[in-house]
Structure 1
Amino acid sequence: MRPDFAARGEYGPIAAVIGWPIGHSLSPPLHRYWLQAEGIAGEYVALAVRPGELAEAMKGLAALGFAGANVTIPHKREVLALVDRVDPLARRVGAANLVLRDGRGRWLAMNSDVIGVKEALCHAAPDPAFSSTQALVLGAGGAARAVVVALLDLGMKTVVIANRRRERAEELVAGMDDSRLKAIAWHERSHALVDTGLLVNATSLGMQGHPPLTLDLSLLPASAVVFDLVYRPLRTALLQEAERRGLVTVDGLAMLIHQAVPAFAAFYGRPPGDVAGARQALHRHLQADRETEA
């Protein structure tokens, strides 16, 4: 799908990431790195869209000729009701992180987070025994939903979901209707670690400016993998503790980069070629931010 903006815009296709808050997002430097590396005339910007203002923002994107947008917290579920079409994967997840406009100006909602999760895990743990492993997913929002679908597709034996509001975890389980899913109360999360081969933090806990995630990782098996979707800071307290215990870790940049590949291809007409270089560029960006804050 090629954006119709390219035919009208002096500077080529333009896309965005929309969310609230949005200042922490690394999507702009990631896509701009690829634009420069690929020699594509285009732009990618971050747009702060408050809760309750998504419908107006979508109208604005269309009026300005945007090719599409990545969608992040808190809009991943709400956006499904504001588009003309929802692709099967986004419908299954119950959330979208990508919206695109076709040549007739119609909006399509998609989900590339599932791809991002699968790629991140398979690169970090190329031979995981998912069929005999239990996963514990913390969170029940749009990102957590994508994680759950990815793990089910990878053949995970059991996926346990713990959320601070248990009813949201139960809603997720009921909506996906898979016998491998189980919702538990937030205070039960530590007990669940004993049988967990994969721990995924899909909450904002541990993110810069947010409360920490408290969890006793000594309860995890020595073969466990710990995956934190947070990337500010990149080495979260959770990942640092996991590394101290000799566990395999996966950071938030892995998912961010891999979910962005199909989005970039949809926005600008071809996939990016330099994934490894993008990670290095984002590392430099995070380091520069730390030095500025210091």
Structure 2
Amino acid sequence: MLIVTLPKRCADDPAAFTRAAQAAGADLVEVRGDLTPGLAPFDAALPLVLSPRGGDLGALLARGAAWIDQEPHEPRLHCPGARRIASWHDHTGTPALDELLRRGREARGVEGVELVKLATHAASARDLEILREVRIRLSLEGAATVLAMGPFAEHARVLSPWTNAFTYATLEDADAAAPGQLTVARHLELSGESPPQVFGLLGGSEACQRSASPAFFRALFRAHGRHAAYVRFPSIDAEEDLAALERLGVAGLSVTAPHKRAAAAFVRARHGTLSPDAQRGGTLNTLVLEERPVGHQFDSLGLEFGYRDLGPRSKVAIVGSGGVVPAVLIAAERNRWTNVTIHARNASARATLGARFGVDTGPLASLADARPDLVVWTLPVDDARESLPVADRGEARRPAFVDLRYGSPTAAAEHAAELGYVVRDGSAMLVHQALAQFATFTRTEPTGTDRERLFELLAADS
């Protein structure tokens, strides 16, 4: 059962909203007193769930509804003909298993309650594990809905139609009544007799938020008829989250900053397999969670094929020493980009990379004295752009500047263009590595049309 909540912006015409919800495929409409108090009775196209939440729904309550949803501590309200939901929410975190079970059983003990609903803020994969166990145990005792809110909620929300009595959704992303809610359209796209296979993106909060990977994979899954979902996992503790995601049955992960090294360490600790590029670089960006995890480094492939048209280069400056730099160094060898120097603030990191790959290194300030015919900018910030030297116009080909970020033009790329460089962003790397991930996750070979589709998605979003 899909439930959508009446948003504030539709309070002037709630009947029209219920008609839109019905047309979209929802089964019920929730009216919350804290969002839209004081509504007069209206002709609803769908059955109503009334959730006072301290607000005035008196006129609607008097008329009756399909369900009334109250927390156990609230004074019991009368609503003719309504079945009862007892709910409990924690908007700050996910309590321990025993505490949540106590809350659920307390709610079920309220007279007349037919459905127990718990919703907590999930900030980690371990929180998702706790909520899964709570749902399993409470469902053995009666109808239950256990929901996740917050940064890790998407995974639980995707699976909710197969695990919960009710699934709360939204018509538009902007109208979500809780962080992590999915649209009705997305739920219907994922519908089927069995849950979808789940893949996802593991990275820092900012990296997950700006990534194009979710849009890429949803388009690819749709184009190839795959019953699969792709969700974000904005992780603070990659080691703990990777272990929990494996236990939760996630099939595969794209891995982005800052967790590429931690993901490779996870594979080694689980006695899994690292591809040659991942083993050599000590990082990975693709993780298949089989009986033994398998890690791949497809950033190197993305760089190799995405920028092969730049041709051989005889003096290369790599700016930064983060998790993607090993992939840049591997691609440089294959694309015949020679005389490489790593320019970075972190002396220890650049020295380690230099020794591993046999390249020169120097502090970030040394970039100003270089005369590179290719600069690969791997930093997530622009504050070092003033160190960039003027492009050497005496070269047979204009020096190139590749900023591995994508989307809107960056200050570093704009400054490079002013200095005479041919500028490229990170779109080509992103598209080629995503296609390699898709092939690995699904054992389906992508097509030229798929490549064009992903570039079009990036162009539309920039």
Q: Which of the five TM-score ranges fits, normalised by the shorter chain?
A: 0.7 to 0.9
1:48-105: CA deviation from partner (whole Å, max 9, x where unpaired): 111xx21221122212221110111111112222112222210111211111123xx2
Of 276, 279, 283 in structure 1, the residue corresponding to residue 455 of structure 2 is 279
The answer for the alignment partner of 1:242 in structure 2 is 416
Residues 246/186 of structure 1: CA separation in 2 closer, same or farther (3 Å cut)? closer
The answer for the alignment partner of 1:259 in structure 2 is 433
TM-score, normalised to structure 1, is: 0.82
Query: Which is higher, the Rg of structure 1 or of structure 2?
Result: 2
The answer for the alignment partner of 2:165 in structure 1 is none
Of 194, 201, 223 in structure 1, the residue corresponding to residue 377 of structure 2 is 201
Q: Does 1:122 align with 2:308?
A: yes
* Partner Cα separation in structure 2 for residue 122 and residue 182 of structure 1: 23
Residues 63/89 of structure 1: CA separation in 2 closer, same or farther (3 Å cut)? same
* Partner Cα separation in structure 2 for residue 88 and residue 254 of structure 1: 22
1:237 offset after TM fit, Å?
A: 2.2
Of 243, 255, 263 in structure 2, the residue corresponding to residue 71 of structure 1 is 255
Unaligned runs of 5+ in 1: 1-8, 287-294
Residues 55/41 of structure 1: CA separation in 2 closer, same or farther (3 Å cut)? same
* Partner Cα separation in structure 1 for residue 222 and residue 287 of structure 2: 23
Of 128, 139, 151 in structure 1, the residue corresponding to residue 332 of structure 2 is 151
Of 195, 214, 220 in structure 2, the residue corresponding to residue 34 of structure 1 is 220
* Partner Cα separation in structure 2 for residue 241 and residue 11 of structure 1: 48
Q: Does 1:95 align with 2:283?
A: yes
The answer for the alignment partner of 2:106 in structure 1 is none
* Partner Cα separation in structure 2 for residue 248 and residue 139 of structure 1: 20
* Partner Cα separation in structure 1 for residue 275 and residue 227 of structure 2: 28
* Partner Cα separation in structure 2 for residue 12 and residue 271 of structure 1: 20
The answer for the alignment partner of 2:362 in structure 1 is 184
* Partner Cα separation in structure 1 for residue 285 and residue 392 of structure 2: 31
* Partner Cα separation in structure 1 for residue 455 and residue 225 of structure 2: 18
Q: Does 1:167 align with 2:351?
A: no
1:24 offset after TM fit, Å?
A: 1.3
List aligned pairs for 1:54-69, cutoff 5 A: 54-69=238-253
TM-score, normalised to structure 2, is: 0.53
Corresponding letter in the other structure for 1:129: P
Of 8, 12, 19 in structure 1, the residue corresponding to residue 203 of structure 2 is 19
Residues 212/185 of structure 1: CA separation in 2 closer, same or farther (3 Å cut)? closer
Corresponding letter in the other structure for 1:240: E
Corresponding letter in the other structure for 1:112: F
1:219 offset after TM fit, Å?
A: 4.1
1:244 offset after TM fit, Å?
A: 4.3
1:86-142: CA deviation from partner (whole Å, max 9, x where unpaired): 22210111211111123xx2111110000011112114x2xx233xx1100001111
What SS class does the counterpart of residue 10 from structure 1 fall into? coil
What SS class does the counterpart of residue 226 from structure 1 fall into? strand
* Partner Cα separation in structure 2 for residue 238 and residue 68 of structure 1: 33
Aligned alpha-carbon RMSD (Å):
1.9
Of 227, 230, 233 in structure 1, the residue corresponding to residue 402 of structure 2 is 227
1:153 offset after TM fit, Å?
A: 2.4
1:123-172: CA deviation from partner (whole Å, max 9, x where unpaired): 4x2xx233xx1100001111111101110222222110011112211110
1:157-191: CA deviation from partner (whole Å, max 9, x where unpaired): 21100111122111101122x2xx10011111111
Select the structure with the greater relative contact order (CA < 8 A; seq sep ≥ 6).
1
CA contact (8 A) 1:42 1:268 kept: no
CA contact (8 A) 1:162 1:185 kept: yes
Of 265, 274, 280 in structure 2, the residue corresponding to residue 81 of structure 1 is 265
1:266 offset after TM fit, Å?
A: 1.4
